[in-house]
Amino acid sequence: MYSSKMKLAAKAASSVGIAMALMVSAAGLASASTSTAHRASHHDVSSSRHSRFEYARIGEGGLVTAVTTTSVTVDRWDGKTTTYTITPSTTFTEGSTPTTAASLVVGDRINIRLDQSAPTTALKINIELAQLAARCHRSWAT
């Protein structure tokens, strides 16, 4: 009888311990989700408009909304939509790697270097690659 009471007490203590651990982890998740919600409204990686990625480093930039063999339509970061002419001399890169016009698809985030004498003619189109970055707390650094 004594051992069955001990087993019951051990099970109860284990159950309480597990319940406490679950409550603490749930509270941690809830606090994490509310603390990042404020930042996510400004830097939502799933949104092409609001992101920590750097855009328009070499001229115009934005989200590709239409592509043909002779043009690309871009929803620019300033909110305007512009169609740029693609010529046979337009060069394409994906990150820093040379590529072809066939790599350009709707939904890409791009930078466009424009011809100064023809401001809607693309000289170079760079397809931006996603980059992950994290902030490291000083105490984490070794």
Q: What is the pLDDT of residues 34-50, one digit of tens each?
A: 444 444 333 344 444 44
- The confidence score (pLDDT) of residue 22 equals 72
Which residues contact residue 112 at a Cβ distance below 8 angstroms, ignoring those fewer than 6 apart? 58, 59, 60, 61, 72, 74, 84, 122, 124, 125, 126
pTM over 0.85: no
> How far apart, in whole angstroms, are the C-alpha atoms of residue 62 and residue 125?
11
Cα diameter, the chain: 95
Write the pLDDT tens digit of every residue in 61-108.
899 999 999 999 999 888 899 999 999 999 999 988 999 999 999 999
pLDDT at 32 over 60: no
